[in-house]
């Protein structure tokens, strides 16, 4: 009898805590960082088409090695949780040591892992990041996936980002679209990954039109719109906004970031800090931006949150170690009062 009463109480508690602030949806991986010095680079005449050269059939000395969980959706989930949002995560992991490690790390970060799907046939995704002279070259392995999105509870936000391979995406997109259709008040953050970009603008346009925040970098924006490199940033902002997002965020690495809400175009320079490694810079920006909106801040303040979050990520190795907790975020923003977006 005591067991029955306890079970009923447990179910009532679970029901009362069913609403999330954000659910991150996408792939997860283990990143292995190898820092090397015994290599060289060769660039074309335009100084842009560059290649890294290693000695063939040789052993390359590694100066430093770091292992971390990663993936765009993983980075968003960890960032959101640290910033105080009640966060859940959907991804597919293998039934292997890497998958169990991801599960444990997410729980340690306060992210709900109840929606993780375990693939007993395929391995967990992994990446090897070769870091040379401050730049990174990434070897990526994506296992085949059969996405089966579980019945998700209500959430104030959903964050859809990198998933794949390409042939697996239509099924996942249909499932996410049905969730959004059933939950019209849920806001959508959309940061398409490589495989989603390869589908083309027409294929992902419905998610762009449904998104409250669309986040891309300059190169991705040019590619999706079919524009040449060097297209004026104002034109990129205006034309991508016409596709339909409520707010379009466009990052430009060390040059700063832009945001356009249909009324005002804004630019914000970076917060100047030492740079150790850039992996996860864009994810940390978008995660901070959306977290600020979730707390009721406007676009200008959201840009400050994104910029500050990314400024601390690039001071550490990997996409998550430097992610800010809410108290630290508020403290740093208070100190950096001069960090304000400019209307362009």
Using N-to-C axis directions, what is the helix angle for 326-335 and 299-313, rounded to 10°?
Answer: 110
Residue 16: pLDDT band by 50, 70, 90 thresholds?
A: very low
Tens digits of per-residue pLDDT, 303-326? 999 999 999 999 999 999 999 999
Residue range 24-53: mean pLDDT, rounded: 87
Q: What is the mean pLDDT of the chain?
A: 92
For residue 311, being part of any structural domain is answered with yes
CA distance 122 to 256: 39
For residue 119, being part of any structural domain is answered with yes
Residue 137 backbone dihedrals phi, psi, to 5 degrees: -125, 125
pLDDT of residue 41: 86
For residue 77, being part of any structural domain is answered with yes
Burial class (CB in 10 A: 0-12, 13-18, 19+), 11: exposed
pLDDT of residue 9: 38
Residue 45: pLDDT band by 50, 70, 90 thresholds?
A: low
The domain tally of the chain equals: 1
Tens digits of per-residue pLDDT, 217-273? 999 999 999 999 999 999 999 999 999 999 999 999 999 999 999 999 999 999 999
For residue 12, being part of any structural domain is answered with no
State the CATH number of the domain containing residue 289.
3.40.1190.20
Model pTM? Answer: 0.90
For residue 301, being part of any structural domain is answered with yes
Residue 47: pLDDT band by 50, 70, 90 thresholds?
A: low
For residue 45, being part of any structural domain is answered with no
Look up the domain containing 92 and give its range.
Answer: 19-28+72-124+144-343
For residue 194, being part of any structural domain is answered with yes
């Amino acid at each position: 009898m005591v067991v029955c009463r306890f079970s009923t109480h447990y179910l009532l508690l679970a029901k009362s805590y069913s609403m999330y602030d954000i659910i991150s949806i996408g792939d997860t991986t283990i990143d292995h960082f190898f820092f090397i010095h015994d290599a060289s680079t060769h660039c074309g005449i335009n100084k842009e088409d560059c290649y890294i050269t290693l000695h063939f059939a040789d052993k390359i000395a590694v100066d430093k090695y770091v292992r971390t969980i990663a993936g765009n959706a993983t980075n968003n989930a960890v960032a959101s949780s640290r910033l105080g949002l009640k966060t859940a995560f959907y991804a597919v992991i293998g039934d292997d040591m890497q998958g169990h490690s991801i599960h444990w790390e997410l729980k340690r970060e306060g992210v709900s892992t109840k929606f993780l799907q375990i693939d007993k046939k395929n391995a967990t995704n992994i990446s090897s990041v070769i870091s040379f002279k401050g730049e990174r070259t990434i070897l990526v392995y994506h296992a085949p996936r059969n996405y089966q999105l579980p019945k998700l509870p209500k959430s104030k936000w959903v964050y859809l980002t990198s998933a794949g391979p390409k042939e697996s995406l239509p099924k996942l997109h249909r499932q996410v679209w049905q969730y959004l259709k059933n939950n019209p008040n849920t806001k959508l953050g959309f940061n398409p990954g490589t495989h989603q970009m390869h589908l083309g603008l027409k294929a992902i346009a419905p998610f762009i039109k449904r998104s409250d925040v669309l986040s891309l970098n300059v190169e991705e924006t040019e590619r999706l719109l079919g524009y040449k490199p060097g297209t004026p940033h104002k034109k990129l902002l205006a034309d991508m906004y016409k596709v339909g997002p409520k707010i379009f965020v466009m990052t430009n690495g060390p040059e700063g970031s832009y945001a356009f809400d249909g009324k005002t175009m804004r630019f914000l320079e970076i917060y100047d800090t030492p740079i150790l490694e850039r992996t996860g810079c864009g994810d940390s920006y978008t995660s901070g931006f959306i977290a600020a909106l979730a707390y009721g801040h406007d676009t200008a303040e959201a840009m400050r949150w994104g910029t500050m979050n990314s400024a601390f990520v690039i001071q550490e190795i990997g996409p998550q170690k430097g992610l800010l907790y809410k108290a630290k975020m508020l403290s740093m923003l208070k100190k950096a009062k001069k960090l304000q977006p400019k209307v362009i």
